[in-house]
């Protein structure tokens, strides 16, 4: 029983295990030498920015503008579509899609430049 237990943990290494010690007993551990890609804060900021953009798309745009922006930028989980594809689906001209998209992006920029009313900061 003891042999099975020790064989199972024989390949395990602790991150706090000392690799070397100097005279002052300041040890260098495995945790000190392993590089960690800690991009959690960046991922949270990106997620928050995406949520804010989606919220602005829902609140700042009318139905037609919202539909065009969602299709053009793939906010519906589908690949982004060209203006020509959006125009064909909405039965309007490509140039009209372009004008509506430009108008919608101006509205979104204005909405995103406003302070976030939902945040706790003044």
pLDDT band at residue 35 using 50, 70 and 90 as cut-offs: low
The pLDDT of 95-105, averaged and rounded, is 95
Residue the block writes with tokens 């302070």: 115
Q: Exposure string (b/e) for 61-71, b if CB count within 10 Å is 16 or more?
A: beeebbbbbbb
pLDDT band at residue 43 using 50, 70 and 90 as cut-offs: confident
110-116: which pairs have CB atoms within 8 A and are 24 or more residues apart?
Answer: 110/60, 111/56, 111/59, 111/60, 112/52, 112/53, 112/56, 116/52
**What is the SS3 assignment for 21?**
strand
Domains plus CATH for the chain? 41-113 (1.10.10.10)
Nearest to 78 by CA among 63, 67, 88, 90: 67
Residue 98 has pLDDT above 60, yes or no: yes
pLDDT value for 60: 94
pLDDT value for 6: 64
């Amino acid at each position: 029983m003891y042999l099975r237990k020790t064989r199972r943990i024989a390949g395990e290494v602790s991150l706090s295990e000392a690799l070397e010690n100097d005279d002052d007993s300041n040890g260098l551990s495995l945790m000190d030498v392993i590089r960690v890609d800690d991009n959690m804060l960046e991922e949270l900021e990106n997620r928050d920015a995406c949520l804010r953009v989606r919220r602005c798309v829902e609140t700042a745009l009318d139905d037609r503008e919202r539909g065009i922006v969602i299709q053009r930028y793939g906010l519906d989980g589908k690949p982004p579509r060209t203006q020509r594809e959006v125009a064909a689906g909405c039965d309007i001209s490509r140039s009209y899609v372009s004008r509506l998209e430009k108008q919608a992006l101006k509205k979104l920029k204005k909405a995103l430049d406003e302070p976030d009313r939902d945040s706790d900061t003044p």
